[in-house]
Structure 1
Amino acid sequence: MENSGFIVSLLAGAAAGTSTDIVFFPIDTLKTRLQAAGGFFANGGYRGVYRGLGSAVVASAPGASLFFVTYDSMKAYVRPYMGKVFTSSAQTADTVTHMVSSSIGEIAACMVRVPAEVIKQRTQTHKSDSSFQTLSRLLRNENGEGIRKNLYRGWSTTIMREIPFTCVQFPLYEYLKKTWAQAQSRTHVAPWQGSLCGCFAGGVAAAATTPLDVLKTRLMLHERSIPVGQLARSIYREEGWKVFFRGIGPRTMWISAGGAVFLGVYETMHSVLSST
């Protein structure tokens, strides 16, 4: 990726991530409290829905920038190879390129996103009064598991959730944009059209990956590390299979609307910055 393209992706991603987290944070809080052990009201109900916002805002710009810089770079790098592998279908080559690129982008973003999620969700469920207090508690290593394990709890499950999510969202998003542009005999859709494509793609991906999101939430809120398989069996035995779809409404609504804002802002900023 050229330097100009790198800077455009960096700034557009930062703007998209920050705006989305600030606007939709209360819905994310409600979703987290629905999924947490003990239920919605035991974890704060409708009170203090902006708890944990600090950690989200601090991490949103670098996390989103990391994703888009990696995603846009990998698209340019991977597409020629996929074109040689899938010679009979350009669409298949495009789809696999978007799946690979977005997966690598999510792994890069999770280096920042996971610690922020741990801090945010613990603060959202009233385990402390502020993001700074939550971070201080984790750094004190009160459970003796080590700072790395405390800050990156749920790392594997987050990756397990994000890769299927992004493998649905971004190929669908790119396909919808491409199809819409072709229907208008254009090379690119307008930013508002990209926003609508992001809304639909995000909603589909969010609903499909809700069970993984529930597991990720429970792991991050657990006081000690626990194997994900053991946790899943324990949740199923104690609460039944329906619990794995708890929060599907707020999650789908939040990510649908968030996808519209996130990708709409990204498309707008990318278009503005690219033309300057």
Structure 2
Amino acid sequence: MSSTSQQPEAAIAAAAPKKEDIRAGVMAQVRSLVAGGFGGVCATLVGHPFDLVKVRLQTAEKGLYSGAIDVVRKSVAKDGLRRGLYAGVSAPLLGVTPMFAVSFWGYDLGKTIVRATSTLNPDGSLTLGQIGFAGFFSAIPMTAITAPFERVKVILQVQGQKKLAPGEKPKYSGPLDVVRQLYREGGVRSVFRGSAATLARDGPGSAAYFVTYEIIKKKLTPTDPVTGKPKGELSLTAIMVAGAAAGVAMWIPVFPVDTVKSRLQTAEGNVTIGGVVRGLYSQGGFKAFFPGFGPALARAVPANAATFVGVELAHAAMKKMFD
């Protein structure tokens, strides 16, 4: 065989993905899943009380609470510290692990897609637009998990604020009972009510989330004074600051959408997004879309600091064990 006929074969062989590269890519995806799941558990344990206050303010009848502190006071007085502030926590604990796992996996996959289909910065890093795309992409698979679990969570959180008559029992006994009754009432569609609103919130929210994290992380990374290149590891304090900033940046542009989603997922009967929006606006104008905004931002700081610390620590632990 001539050398000229061998050249195309050599080129094809060089272009074909190597088994080592495929294995490394798969392992990177698995690590993203594991690290994201661990970060999600950390976020839930730290942030659930703040989230409960937010949802109750978003869905309560006008005048029921005077503010966030009043929600905490009445919830604890009624159900005690643990049940009062962690009502509905089992649903997000079960859902958040795969939700965050899929989110960080989707973000990693989005970055892989960007690298394979577009031009990067001269140093090989992603542009902010490319990071934003990867962040938005991460919300697409995540919605399939987020929407039903958040529907269960908010229903249980709102149920906890309802005053029961003597001898009256709550409608739902727990997360599985919520799913069972929702399915009986309206099938899969009822269980997944609010999916469009969830994606409308999490798409742009995730884009802002990851872009902000990468910006702050880059600014806080130690650099060589001579070359200006990154030097050394990012401290846990810096990770916490970047994560906290990412959480705040995520909520600011999408909070009104979250209010609509909470109302949509807790409403009785057949409701539409348009109907919820009109109802909210008629109740209090634009201000009606922002109840619980303070608790949401208050939760975003510690919860997302915990998320990224959990993710980074999980990656570090897996690197130490397997590399």
Residue 70 of structure 1 is aligned with which of 106, 111, 120?
Answer: 106
Query: What is the one-letter code of the residue matched to 2:129?
Result: V
Q: Secondary structure at the match of 2:28?
A: helix
Q: Report the counterpart of residue 242 of structure 1 in structure 2.
A: 287
Q: Distance in 2 between matches of 1:225 and 1:263?
A: 38
Instruction: Give percent identity, aligned residues only.
Output: 24
CA contact (8 A) 1:219 1:225 kept: no
Structure 1 runs (4+) greater than 6 angstroms displaced: 87-91
Aligned-residue offset at 1:239: 2.8
Q: Report the counterpart of residue 226 of structure 1 in structure 2.
A: 271
- The runs of 5 or more residues in structure 1 that have no matched partner are none
Aligned-residue offset at 1:170: 0.8
- 1:83-102 to 2 correspondences below 5 Å: 83=119, 93-102=126-135
Query: What is the one-letter code of the residue matched to 1:62?
Result: P
Query: What is the one-letter code of the residue matched to 1:248?
Result: F
The normalised TM-score by structure 2 is 0.76
Q: Distance in 2 between matches of 1:214 and 1:204?
A: 17
Q: Which moved more, 1:225-234 or 1:54-63?
A: 225-234
- 1:177-192 to 2 correspondences below 5 Å: 177-181=217-221, 183=223, 185-186=230-231, 189-192=234-237
Q: Secondary structure at the match of 1:189?
A: coil
Q: Distance in 2 between matches of 1:252 and 1:40?
A: 22
Q: Report the counterpart of residue 55 of structure 1 in structure 2.
A: 91
**1:22 corresponds to 2:33:** no
Q: Distance in 2 between matches of 1:134 and 1:247?
A: 24
**1:253 corresponds to 2:298:** yes
Q: Distance in 2 between matches of 1:88 and 1:181?
A: 19
Q: Which moved more, 1:95-104 or 1:178-187?
A: 178-187
Q: Distance in 2 between matches of 1:59 and 1:39?
A: 30
CA contact (8 A) 2:55 2:158 kept: yes
**1:173 corresponds to 2:213:** yes
Query: What is the one-letter code of the residue matched to 2:139?
Result: E
Q: Report the counterpart of residue 136 of structure 1 in structure 2.
A: 180
Aligned-residue offset at 1:129: 4.1
Aligned-residue offset at 1:218: 0.5
Q: Secondary structure at the match of 1:140?
A: helix
Query: What is the one-letter code of the residue matched to 2:50?
Result: I
Q: Report the counterpart of residue 11 of structure 2 in structure 1.
A: none
| Inter-CA distance 5–89: structure 2 relative to 1 (3 Å threshold) | closer
| Inter-CA distance 10–38: structure 2 relative to 1 (3 Å threshold) | same
CA contact (8 A) 2:134 2:207 kept: no
Q: For each residue in 1:133-161, what CA deviation from the matched residue of structure 2 results, as whole angstroms up to 9, or x when unmatched?
A: 322211221xxxx3222111111111111
| Inter-CA distance 7–40: structure 2 relative to 1 (3 Å threshold) | farther
Q: Distance in 2 between matches of 1:101 and 1:13?
A: 15
Q: Distance in 1 between matches of 2:149 and 2:191?
A: 8
- The runs of 5 or more residues in structure 2 that have no matched partner are 1-23, 66-70, 79-83, 160-170, 225-229
Aligned-residue offset at 1:165: 1.1
- 1:189-208 to 2 correspondences below 5 Å: 189-208=234-253
| Inter-CA distance 160–26: structure 2 relative to 1 (3 Å threshold) | same
